Amino acid sequence: MKIRLKILSGFLVIVAMLIIAGAFAIIEFRKLSKSVESLLADNYASIEACNNMLEGLEREDSGVLLYMLGQKEHGKASVFEGDSIFMKSLDIARNNVTESNEEKYIFTLEKNYADYILNWKQLVETTDGHLNLDWYFNNMYSRFYLVKTSVKDLMKLNQESMYNESFLLRDKAQRAVMPGFVAVTAALIFAILFNFFINYYFVSPVLRLIRAVNQHHSGIKELDANIETHDEIKTLEEAIRKLIVKLDTKNK
């Protein structure tokens, strides 16, 4: 094999290893990117919806208390605003079911919230709003607490899923890094081997050839560099031997 091909083949092997490793890394990082996007689109969206539901629920509860204290218009406005926030967020959670049993959590939440709203409507339609705190704790607050607990349960389900998914993402990130690490290690090992073969097939023969030429000048007539390869260096050895023979013939 020609020296040029030997050197070129060595570099091509290194390049091929890096290309393959880079391709694997790109594939793994794309999978990681899709997993992160999925995590944000699913669990995070549901968690954010739960936070908004809690905010809306708190406004409704404040509206109920305002209504009971005689601030009917402010109370109604607060309840309706809170209900609008809650229902929009509930629709987001309802259309983003990704976990096992999540539908059951949402069904329980809808049931408890419907019961809570029913009591609020009864308060507006059947009383003048001036009720004592006992009625509030026995009717409104207990149902408010059930709805709040249902929202928190739904949030906890998605938080735990996100936490578990984070470990999977960490494993995927490690798998994405591994091809690059393997490629660098393999390239380093191959570079050491490549350096050995360069010395064996190129540097050492050249040094032997130089040594043989120097020995010939020192009085040894026969030029023998002991070049075993059949490449340009062997051709160079034969050319130098012919040149020496030709010069020796002329000198005679």
pLDDT class of 203 with cuts at 50, 70, 90: confident
Question: Is 80 exceeded by the pLDDT of residue 236?
Answer: no
Q: What is the pLDDT of residue 33?
A: 65
Q: What is the pLDDT of residue 147?
A: 94
CA distances from 191 to 17, 18, 26, 183, 202 (A): 12, 12, 24, 12, 15
| Full-model pTM | 0.57
Q: What is the pLDDT of residue 43?
A: 74
Taking the C-alpha atoms of residue 50 and residue 45, their distance in angstroms, rounded to an integer, is 9
The percent of residues in the chain predicted with pLDDT above 70, rounded, is 72
Give the list of residues 6+ apart from residue 109 with CB closer than 8 angstroms, or none: 90, 147, 150, 151, 153, 154
| Count of CA atoms in the C-beta half-sphere (13 A) of 194 | 16
Interval 149-175 mean pLDDT:
79
Interval 48-57 mean pLDDT:
94
CB contact at 8 A, 200 and 173: no
Taking the C-alpha atoms of residue 21 and residue 16, their distance in angstroms, rounded to an integer, is 9
The domain segmentation of the chain, as residue ranges, is 3-188, 195-251
CB atoms within 10 A of CB 246: 10
- The top-level CATH class assigned to 3-188 is mainly alpha
CA distances from 178 to 4, 9, 75, 173 (A): 33, 25, 60, 9
Token pair of 249, please? 């013939």
Q: Is the dihedral of CA 125, 150, 154, 107 positive or negative?
A: negative
Question: Is 70 exceeded by the pLDDT of residue 149?
Answer: yes
Phi, psi of 62 (to 5 degrees): -65, -40
Taking the C-alpha atoms of residue 173 and residue 29, their distance in angstroms, rounded to an integer, is 7
